Amino acid sequence: MKELLQQYAAYNLWATGLLVDIINKLPGDDKTKEVAGSFPSLYTTLQHMWLAEEVWWQRLKLAEHIVLQSETFAGSFEELTANHAKQSELFAEWIQGATESQLDHVFAYIRNKEQIKMPVYQMLHHVFNHATYHRGQLVAMLRQLGITKIPSTDFSTFCMKK
């Protein structure tokens, strides 16, 4: 289990980094230009991805009150993606040091006034799967902006590059 989660954490950083590299080459207004997706722009989609990781990180750390830097962040795209990458790296580092019992540990959190319990390994899988979902949306948004050269961010591609 741990080895797979380590691979997913590394894959998460790699795949998001590939797309961020492409987005960084776009004119500044394309990063915030409204295009069809779950969120109105590339910027807000990546902001949401960071926010989701922040929420789950704080739940993992058993924070009593979740405080989200991402929620009110209004900095540059470069600052946004640097903060998101730092958050993703925290998961990778935590997994590296985690024991099997820490990964199996069932933790509880409150969502919409309901207490939910889940093992840490399921939460981590959710975090990485959630990012994959939104990377797919980033690809679709890039295509709407006329970008046609987009590298594969498939997990199998990541594994072949290792």
pLDDT in tens, 21-63: 999 999 879 999 999 989 999 999 999 999 999 999 999 999 9
Summary mean pLDDT of the chain: 96
DSSP output for 75-118: --HHHHHHHHHHHHHHHHHHHHH--HHHHH-EEEEEETTEEEEE
CATH for 2-161 (1.20.120.450, 1.10.3720.10, 3.10.620.30, 1.10.150.170):
1.20.120.450
Residue 111, pLDDT above cutoff 90: no
pLDDT class of 79 with cuts at 50, 70, 90: very high
pLDDT class of 64 with cuts at 50, 70, 90: confident
- 107: phi then psi, degrees, rounded to nearest 5: -115, 165
Put simply, whether the predicted model's pTM sits higher than 0.85 gets the answer yes
Write down the domain spans for the chain: 2-161
DSSP at 152: -
What pLDDT score was predicted for residue 48?
Answer: 98
Over the stretch 122-158, which tens digit does the pLDDT of each residue have?
999 999 999 999 999 999 999 999 999 999 999 999 9
SS3 (DSSP) at 119: strand
What pLDDT score was predicted for residue 146?
Answer: 96
